[in-house]
Each structure stands twice: as C-alpha cells, then as structure tokens.
C-alpha cells in the first residue's frame, strides 16, 4: 500500500532511514516515495485497463516537479487548474493531448494559453465561461475542445469543503442548463463540445456516490442522443479516498469492478483525474519535537512544523496518523500535537494517544503527500519546507527549503517612507 515501514524499530521510506534524511537536511520536511507513486498509479491503470482510460493526475494534489515527472514517466496525463500548472506541465514535457483543465474561474489569459497549447479539453463550468471560450477561440482562429462539467446533484459522504457535486456548490453546470446548452450549441461555433465531465468530491471511500452520479450521466447521455448529439469523452473526475485513520476504502480494483459496467455502457473514451489516491499515502511530513508542555489541564507536544506547512488538520479537521520515527517501548500519553504558529487552529492532532516523546524526537505525520506542500504558506514568516524524493536507497531534495531572501522577494519600501 505504501513504502513507509518500520525496520529495526526505525521508520524507513523504501530503503532510506527517515532519521538519516532529517540529519542531513534538518526538519521539518516532506518525504515522498517514488515506488508508492508508481504503485498507486499502476493500480488504477491495471484496474481500469478494460476501458483503457487517459489517467490525468490531478496536479493540484501535489505539484512537485519530481513527483509529476515520476507519473509522466509512467504515461500519466495531467488534470490542471491554472495557468501556473499548465506552464509547469509543459515545462516537464507533458503531452498536451493528455491535459485537461478544470476551474470555475479561468481567466481569458488561461483560456487562451490552454487553447494555444492544444490541450485535450477544457472542462467548462458555466455558460458565461463557454461564451468566453468561444470568443477567445474565434480571436485565436483555433477551435477549442471542451467538455461540460455537469453537476449531477448527488451527495457524497465527505467533508463539506471537499464536496463538489451538489447544487449548493459552485462547481459544474446543472443538468437542465446543460441540456439547454447542448441544444443551443450552434451559438458556440468556435468550440467543439465533445465531452462530459463530473467530479463529485474528494476522499470518497465507497462506490455508491460515483454510481449514482454515473446513472445520472447515462440518463443525460440518452437524452442527448435523442437530440442527436454524440460525444467522444467522459471525464469521470477524481475523488477516490485513501486510508488516513480507520477508513476502509475500496481498492482501485473493487472500485473498477463496480463502476466499469457503467463506464462501458457510455461507449465513450474515459478520462480519470485521480489526485489523492496516487500521492496521499506516498508522502509523509516529518517534524521535530521542540518542547513538551503540561499546563496541569492537558499536555502539548510542540513541534517545529505548523499549520502553514500542513493545513489539513486545521482546515478540514482532517485526521493524520502521527508516529515517532524511532519506535520505543515508552508508555503512551494523551496530548495535543501543535505547531509554533500563533493561532489556536495550529494543530496536527488533538487529545491524541501517542507514545511518550521527548525533545528532539522526530515525528512522522503520515499520509501527507496530497494537499500538503501545495497548500503551504509563509504565514508567520516561515519558510516553506523542503521536499525530498526517495527511490530505493537514494534520496534527493526535490525542492529546497526557502530562505529569508525568498521570503522577502518582491517586497519594497516606497519612496515616501524613506
Ligand atoms: C481536486 C480535483 C481532482 C482530484 O481529486 P482527488 O480527490 O485528489 O482525487 C480531480 N478533478 C477535479 C476537477 C478536481 O477539482
């Protein structure tokens, strides 16, 4: 499942001792396993082989160039959400024919760059956006390919902030508007609408919500057929859940077994956009204990990493397993594991039972590969931490720790203050 395992009571990433990396580069840092990345990608590829999908890794989950390159080497395409991600993808030599672009708020510049790059399609999230794409295509004299992101209005049992497939949410086009839009597609002569896109949310551990969404898609496709509209692609989005705590997520194979019949029924070319499933358990965040504080009411383990490095616990109340990098026989204690940032929301765990730790012990925050580094900020003037990629017994820093110069880059004192 992943390659972070204890050998001789020491946490390893593949054949590398986590404590060796800490010694060499200091803490905190993110650590990724090349083998886990490849393994998770391959699991999806094998499970869905009957429909031979284009598997577009959702770059927003982890945009590190070495991580993305690892997946490109395996034949992945990319799901992007901004011009920055497009530029990064092209810099890495990604095949534009395997890039899809979703975002509710694409700027004219982003649309124009995506069209000129010749990406597979833009996932359109509103009628005004489609009008804008049509206008830009005409100007560029280059037809844009688009898929309509429909909002199937199905509930997914996941945190509200990562639910996207209900009409309460800003994403996608409701089915009625989508049907109307298809009927009036001659209003958009400079775009080819040749696909449907859905993405109902993230960290979904069961197939039911996906199946409910697929049933709506199939109904919708039948309606389109009546109107004599045929499409080429179905982009089924991402959202496959992983284990953080005690979830029992379906495996890629179990998911495929349940969903493939519906995918095959559409007879469309399938695009997938997994993010978390590929990178989530392929990375950890390593941090060092600075102090143990006991205020008579509760204990706090104060570590050198903070919410600015890994915001998931603060933002989504997400659970991450936290383990000492060296296994000890010490009795357990209950404590909050907190960072140095001046916010009460700066915590990795609350009332967590962990082995008794002491100053300078290393802790691994598990399953931190997705939506970890990419959401990091410089809050409290804290430099972003390094990212390290392990392959076998080798490791390399694939993003350097930021310096003070990075932190103040672009800032200036205006003349009138001098
Ligand atoms: C975020 C996102 C994904 C990836 O979601 P995961 O839950 O990480 O698999 C895929 N598609 C779209 C449109 C997204 O916004």
Those residues with Cβ within 8 angstroms of residue 222's Cβ, 6 or more apart along the chain or in another chain: none
How far apart (Å, rounded) are the C-alpha atoms in residues 267 and 325? 49
Cα–Cα–Cα angle for 24, 29, 33, rounded to 5 degrees = 90
Main-chain phi, psi angles of 294, to 5 degrees:
-125, 115
How far apart (Å, rounded) are the C-alpha atoms in residues 210 and 249? 13
Sign of the dihedral defined by the CA atoms of residues 62, 67, 72, 76, in that order = negative
Q: Three-state SS for 327?
A: coil
Provide the phi-psi class of 209: left if phi over 0, else alpha when psi is between -120 and 50, else beta.
alpha
How far apart (Å, rounded) are the C-alpha atoms in residues 64 and 126? 30
Is 129 close to ligand 1, i.e. is its CB under 6 Å away? Answer: no
Q: Three-state SS for 281?
A: helix
How far apart (Å, rounded) are the C-alpha atoms in residues 59 and 370? 10
Is 274 close to ligand 1, i.e. is its CB under 6 Å away? Answer: yes
For the chain (418 residues), the mean pLDDT of every run of 10, in chain order, is 92 98 98 98 98 98 98 98 98 98 96 98 96 98 96 84 83 92 94 96 93 96 93 97 92 96 97 98 98 96 98 96 94 97 96 96 98 98 98 98 98 96
Sign of the dihedral defined by the CA atoms of residues 105, 121, 149, 207, in that order = negative
DSSP per-residue letters across 1-53: --SEEEETTEEEETTEEHHHHHHHH-SSEEEEEHHHHHHHHHHHHHHTGGG--
DSSP per-residue letters across 87-122: HHHHHTT--GGGEEEE-TT--HHHHHHHHHHT-SEE
- Cα Rg of the chain (Å, integer): 23
DSSP one-letter code for 188? -
Q: Three-state SS for 390?
A: strand
Those residues with Cβ within 8 angstroms of residue 315's Cβ, 6 or more apart along the chain or in another chain: 161, 375
Is 102 close to ligand 1, i.e. is its CB under 6 Å away? Answer: yes
Q: What share of the chain is helix, strand, coil (3-state, %, to 5)?
A: 35, 25, 40
- Which of 176, 248, 329, 342 is labelled catalytic? 342
Domain residue ranges of the chain, discontinuous segments joined by +: 4-31+280-408, 34-279
pTM above threshold 0.75: yes
The closest-lying atom of ligand 1 relative to the alpha carbon of residue 277 is 9
Is 367 close to ligand 1, i.e. is its CB under 6 Å away? Answer: no
Is 79 close to ligand 1, i.e. is its CB under 6 Å away? Answer: yes
DSSP per-residue letters across 222-275: HHHHHTT---SEEE----B---SSS--PPPHHHHHHHHHHHHHHHTSEEEE--S
User: Tokens standing for 196?
Assistant: 């449907």
Query: Residue 251: how many CA atoms within 13 Å on its side-chain side?
Result: 10
Q: 34-279: same fold as 4-31+280-408?
A: no
Main-chain phi, psi angles of 114, to 5 degrees:
-65, -40
The predicted pLDDT at position 1 comes to 60
The predicted pLDDT at position 162 comes to 77
How far apart (Å, rounded) are the C-alpha atoms in residues 230 and 309? 46
Give the DSSP H or E segment for 283.
strand 283-294
Residue 375 CA to ligand 1 center (angstroms) comes to: 14
Question: Is 4-31+280-408 in CATH node 2.40.37.10?
Answer: yes
Q: How far is CA 280 from each of CA 10, 240, 312, rounded to the nearest angstrom?
A: 21, 11, 12
Q: Where in 304-415 does DSSP place strands (E)?
A: 322-324, 332-338, 347-355, 362-365, 387-391, 394-399
Indicate the top mutation candidate among 123, 209, 239 to test ligand 1's pocket, ranked by most ligand atoms within 8 A of CB.
Answer: 239
Residue 144 CA to ligand 1 center (angstroms) comes to: 22
Is 60 close to ligand 1, i.e. is its CB under 6 Å away? Answer: yes
First to last CA, the chain: 58
Nearest C-alpha neighbor of 123 from the set 164, 62, 167 = 164
Indicate the top mutation candidate among 56, 81, 237 to test ligand 1's pocket, ranked by most ligand atoms within 8 A of CB.
Answer: 237
How far apart (Å, rounded) are the C-alpha atoms in residues 391 and 397? 12
Q: What is the CATH number of domain 34-279?
A: 3.20.20.10
- 342 among known catalytic residues: yes
Is 165 close to ligand 1, i.e. is its CB under 6 Å away? Answer: no
The closest-lying atom of ligand 1 relative to the alpha carbon of residue 275 is 8
Give the DSSP H or E segment for 86.
helix 83-91
The closest-lying atom of ligand 1 relative to the alpha carbon of residue 276 is 8
């Amino acid at each position: 499942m992943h390659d972070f395992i204890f050998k001789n009571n020491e946490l390893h990433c593949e054949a590398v001792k986590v404590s060796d990396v800490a010694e060499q580069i200091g803490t905190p840092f993110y650590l990724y396993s090349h083998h886990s990345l490849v393994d998770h990608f391959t699991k999806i590829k094998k499970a869905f082989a009957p429909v031979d999908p284009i598997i577009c890794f959702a770059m927003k989950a982890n945009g590190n160039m070495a991580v993305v390159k690892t997946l490109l080497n395996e034949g992945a395409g990319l799901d992007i959400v901004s011009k920055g991600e497009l530029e990064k993808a092209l810099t890495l030599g990604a095949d534009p024919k395997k890039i899809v672009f979703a975002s509710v708020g694409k700027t004219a510049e982003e649309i124009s760059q995506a069209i000129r790059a010749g990406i597979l399609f833009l996932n359109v999230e509103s009628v005004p956006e489609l009008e804008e794409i049509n206008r830009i295509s005409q100007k560029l004299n280059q037809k844009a390919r688009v898929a309509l992101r429909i909002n199937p209005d199905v509930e997914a049992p996941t945190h509200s902030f990562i639910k996207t497939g209900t009409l309460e949410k800003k994403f996608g086009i409701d089915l009625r508007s989508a049907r109307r839009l298809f009927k009036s597609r001659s209003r958009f002569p400079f775009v080819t609408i040749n696909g449907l896109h859905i993405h109902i949310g993230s960290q979904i551990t069961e197939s039911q919500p996906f199946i409910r969404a697929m049933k709506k898609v199939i109904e919708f496709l039948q309606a389109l057929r009546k109107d004599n509209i045929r499409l080429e692609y179905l982009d089924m989005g991402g959202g496959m859940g992983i284990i953080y705590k005690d979830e029992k997520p379906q495996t890629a194979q179990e998911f495929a077994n349940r969903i493939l019949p519906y995918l095959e029924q559409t007879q469309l070319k399938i695009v997938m956009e997994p993010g978390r499933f590929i990178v989530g358990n392929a990375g950890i965040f390593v941090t060092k204990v600075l102090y143990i504080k006991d205020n008579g009411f509760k204990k706090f383990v104060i570590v050198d990493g903070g919410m600015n490095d890994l915001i998931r616990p603060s933002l989504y109340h997400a659970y991450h397993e936290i383990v000492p990098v060296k296994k000890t026989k010490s009795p357990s204690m209950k404590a909050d594991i907190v960072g140095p940032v001046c916010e009460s929301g700066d915590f990795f765990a609350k009332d967590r039972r962990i082995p008794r730790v002491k100053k300078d012990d290393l802790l691994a925050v598990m399953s931190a590969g997705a939506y970890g580094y990419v959401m990091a900020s410089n809050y409290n003037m804290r430099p972003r931490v390094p990212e390290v990629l392990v392959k076998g017994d080798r490791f390399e820093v694939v993003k350097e720790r930021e310096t003070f110069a990075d932190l103040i880059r672009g800032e200036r004192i205006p003349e009138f203050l001098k």
